Amino acid sequence: MVLGARQGGAPQRAPLRSETGSQSIELLLVLPVVTLLLVLVACAGLLGADLVAAQAVAREAARSAAVGDVDAAHSVATAAADRRTIELELVPGRPSAGEVVTASVRLRSRAFEALGADVWLPGQATMRVEGR
Amino acid sequence: MTSCGGAARQGDSGGVALLTVLGGMIVLVLALLMLSAALDLAHAHARASTAADAAALAAAGTSPLAGGSGNPGEAAAELAYRNDAQLEHLDVQRWPLRVTVRVSAATRMPLVAGLVPRVGTEAAAAVIP
């Protein structure tokens, strides 16, 4: 049986009678956007946690340098970073008692690692070097 | 101009699903905003804690017992400022020497800054003779 055939003409498709599948199609179209938003929420949480962690790492490093253990500041910062990659800079490199030492940290966040993005978060802390 | 050659829509049954998904997306965007606000507060608190610790230690370090200059207020204010915060209050107990500082750091998100402009925290340090 040929549906919608014109008399004397070529066969033609029947007009659409229902929209039964439209919900599935709409869901299919919007689902990627919803998934992306969910991933963004999760990544934002990780990013924020890493930002606070970067500040904590800087504080630990500055404190270590302030009590006169500049060499230990790097190992203290690495331990505080909890296996995250960090870059630490102490200014001045060899502070003397009474001087102010600033620890600047860049912490590589794991938030967008799965997406291939390389995000570095800053943290900075300044403390006065105590007398020895 | 082309005319619409398709059949007329018979119903809006798919519109409900679309509205549900759009509602879900709005909830997710709001959740993202709330999460960002909470993280901004947490970051400001972390900066304030760092500044408070540094300010308290610097103030205690000015004690003559620790070989300092004897001006705890100036030292605490300077260290708080260097840590991107502000000294709010300083309390010094002469003996045994104990310094308590209250420091605040500003929030950075405009949405949060309108409601909670600054986050404060306290720290104490002492000199043991």
pTM (2 decimals)? 0.77
Task: Summarize pLDDT for B29-69 with one digit per residue, the tens.
Answer: 898 899 999 999 999 999 999 999 999 999 988 887 777 77
Helices B13-61, A22-66: inter-axial angle, 10-degree rounding: 0
Chain A, nearest residue to B44 by Cα: A52
Q: What percent of chain A has pLDDT over 90?
A: 33
Q: Which of A27, A33, A66 sits opposite B25 (nearest CB)?
A: A33
Mutate to test the interface with A, among B83, B101, B121 (most CBs of A within 10 A): B83
The mean pLDDT value of chain B amounts to 84
* CA B119 – CA B47 distance, rounded (Å): 9
Task: Summarize pLDDT for A7-60 with one digit per residue, the tens.
Answer: 555 556 666 666 677 777 777 877 888 888 888 888 888 988 999 999 999 999
Q: Which of A22, A31, A34 sits opposite B13 (nearest CB)?
A: A22
Task: Summarize pLDDT for B17-37 with one digit per residue, the tens.
Answer: 678 778 888 888 898 899 999
Q: Which residue has the higher pLDDT, A20 or A129?
A: A129
Long-range contacts of B26-32 (CB under 8 A, 24+ apart): B28/A34, B28/A37, B28/A38, B28/A41, B29/A37, B31/A41, B32/A37, B32/A40, B32/A41, B32/A44
* CA B113 – CA B129 distance, rounded (Å): 43
Instruction: Identify the burial level of B24 via C-beta atoms within 10 angstroms of its C-beta, where 0-12 means exposed, 13-18 middle and 19 or more buried.
Output: middle
Residue A7, both tokens? 């008399």
Check residue A35 and give its pLDDT.
86
Residue A124: closest CA among A58, A65, A29: A58
What is the mean predicted confidence (pLDDT) over A106-120? Answer: 87
Helices B13-61, B72-82: inter-axial angle, 10-degree rounding: 150
What is the mean predicted confidence (pLDDT) over A63-84? Answer: 87
Q: Which of B6, B29, B43 sits opposite A37 (nearest CB)?
A: B29
What is the mean predicted confidence (pLDDT) over A120-130? Answer: 92
